[in-house]
Amino acid sequence: MSFCEEARKETDLYWEASFHHPFIKGIVDGSLPLEKFKYYMLQDAYYLKHYFKSLSIAATKADTIEDIRYFLNQAKYIHEAELELHRTAFKELQVTEEELAQFDPAPAAYNYLSHMYNATHNGDVAEAFAAMFPCAWIYAEIGQKYKHAKPGVALYEQWIALYGSDDFAEIIRGQKEKMDSYAEEQPEKVAIFKRHFEKSCYYEWKFWEMSWTFENWQAEVMTYKYR
């Protein structure tokens, strides 16, 4: 099997948990409260801003013009497609300037990006990519799995349409080819790539859980205090 086939099989627990998480199922059937989606979109906008930065850092570590161009083009896509969805959603969800000014990332979002920045800053371009690309891949599989859903909520339908589109699926095909090529070029680092990949798959699942529960920095302490 290729690296991506192996990594996907070994992390299937997180993928299945994502497919069937109540947050995702709520988007699919339209039952997700808009307040949960608003919370998610704020956290996701924060994540994507730093994902954009990570792609830019990866470009500076690339050794070939092809790779430099690739990572810069991926950053451009994030800016034009995904962040545009967020701008539209913020208007419909009536996100205020005060909310944006007071925004504080939840633990899961903060930890996910700490993991990604660690791989990006301390590893080579392949390690950075191993930590970054599970995000888009999981979203693409969710989009393809539920592309024919009719939630009856415009924001949810737009979300599914973006990640279930043929264009997005084509991006993922290219990403898998690139990650497989990195693994073939550096077989001695495959175990490192897999560790980065698995952590990102875990944090993708954690992102849904974070949004479903309105995770915050006091929640675990309060749970401990009163149990």
pLDDT of residue 223: 59
From the list 127, 135, 141, 201, the catalytic residue is 135
* Mean pLDDT, residues 90-94: 88
Active site residue 135: yes
C-beta separation of 119 from 196 below 8 A: yes
Name the pTM for this structure.
Answer: 0.92
Instruction: Say what angle helices 107-122 and 34-61 make with each other, to 10 degrees.
Output: 10
CATH of the domain at 12: 1.20.910.10
- Contacts of residue 92, Cβ cutoff 8 Å, sequence gap at least 6: 154, 155
Active site residue 204: yes
Structural domain of 191: 3-226
Which tokens is 225 given? 């205090």
pLDDT of residue 101: 86
From the list 127, 141, 198, 204, the catalytic residue is 204
Indicate the average pLDDT of the chain.
92
Distance CA 39, CA 139 (A): 18
For the chain, the domain total comes to 1
16-69 pLDDT per residue, tens: 999 999 999 999 999 999 999 999 999 998 998 899 899 999 999 999 999 999
